[in-house]
Amino acid sequence: MAPLLLPSSPIHSFPATPKLSFRSKPRPIIRAAAGLEVDSFTKKSGYLFQLSAFEAESLLDYSPSRIAAIYRRKPLILLRRLIQVGTTFGKWFGVRYIDNLMERSDQMFKVRAAELRKILVELGPAYIKIAQAVSSRPDLIPPSYLDELSLLQDRITPFSTEVALDTIEKELGLRIDELFSEISPEPVAAASLGQVYQARLRRSGQVVAVKVQRPGVQAAISLDILILRFLAGVVKKAGKFNTDLQAVIDEWASSLFREMDYRKEADNGLKFRRLYGGLKDVFVPNINMEHTTRRVLVMEWVEGQKLSEVKDLYLVEVGVYCSFNQLLENGFYHADPHPGNLFRTFDGKLAYIDFGMMGEFKQEFREGFIEACLHLVNRDFDALSKDFVTLGLLPPTAEKEAVTKALTGVFQDAVAKGVRNISFGDLLGNLGTTMYKFKFQIPSYFSLVIRSLAVLEGIAISSDPNYKVLGSTYPWIAKKVLTDSSPQLKSSLQALLYKDGAFRIDRLESLLTESLRARTEKALVKIQREEANSRVVFKEILYFTLTEKGSFVREILIEEFAKGLDALGLATLDSLTSVATTRIPFTGSSVSFMSKEDMINLRTFHRLMLLLAGLESNKKSFEEVNGIGNPNNNQSAYLEESSLLSYQPALVSEILAMLSIIPELPPELQQQLLRLPADLARRLISRASARTIQRIFL
What is the CB neighbour count within 10 angstroms for residue 159?
24
Q: How far is CA 277 from the centre of its chain?
A: 17
CB-side neighbour CA atoms (13 Å) of 628: 26
Contact 220, 51 (CB under 8 A): no
CB neighbour list of residue 482: distance below 8 Å, 6 or more residues apart: 493, 511, 512, 515, 544, 549, 550, 552, 553
What is the CB neighbour count within 10 angstroms for residue 523?
7
Whole-angstrom Cα distance, residue 488 to residue 484? Answer: 10
The 3-class secondary structure across 582-609, one letter per residue, is HHCCCCCCCCCCCCHHHHHHHHHHHHHH
> What φ, ψ does residue 3 adopt, rounded to 5°?
-80, 95
Active-site residue, selected from the candidate residues 154, 250, 261, 336 = 336
The 3-class secondary structure across 87-127, one letter per residue, is HHHHHHHHHHHHHHHCCCCCCCHHHHHHHHHHHHHHHCHHH
The verdict on whether omega for the bond into residue 75 sits within 30 degrees of 0, i.e. cis, is no
Query: Each residue of 524-552: b (16+ CB within 10 Å) or e?
Result: eeebeeeeeebebbbbbbbebbbeebbeb
- What CA dihedral angle connects 97, 103, 107 and 111, to 10 degrees? -10
What is the CB neighbour count within 10 angstroms for residue 169?
17
Whole-angstrom Cα distance, residue 622 to residue 631? Answer: 16
Whole-angstrom Cα distance, residue 664 to residue 130? Answer: 54
Contact 413, 404 (CB under 8 A): no
Report strand pairing: 502-503 vs 498-499: antiparallel
> What φ, ψ does residue 420 adopt, rounded to 5°?
-70, -10
Whole-angstrom Cα distance, residue 409 to residue 416? Answer: 12
Three-state DSSP class for residue 3:
coil
Bridge partners for 688 per DSSP: none
Bridge partners for 211 per DSSP: 196, 297
Can 99 be counted among the known catalytic residues? no
What is the CB neighbour count within 10 angstroms for residue 517?
19
Whole-angstrom Cα distance, residue 337 to residue 459? Answer: 9
The 3-class secondary structure across 151-186, one letter per residue, is HHHCECCCCCHHHHHHHHHHHHCCCHHHHEEEECCC
H-type helices in 215-261, by residue range?
Answer: 217-239, 245-259
Whole-angstrom Cα distance, residue 119 to residue 149? Answer: 11
Contacts by 194-201, CB closer than 8 A, 24 or more apart: 194/1, 195/1, 195/158, 195/159, 195/164, 196/1, 196/3, 196/4, 197/164, 198/6, 198/18, 198/20, 198/301, 199/20, 199/298, 200/20, 201/288, 201/291, 201/298
Question: How long a stretch of residues is the chain?
Answer: 698
Contact 672, 546 (CB under 8 A): yes
Q: How far is CA 468 from the centre of its chain?
A: 11
| Of 635, 412, 661, nearest in space to 546 by CA | 661
Residues with active-site annotation:
336
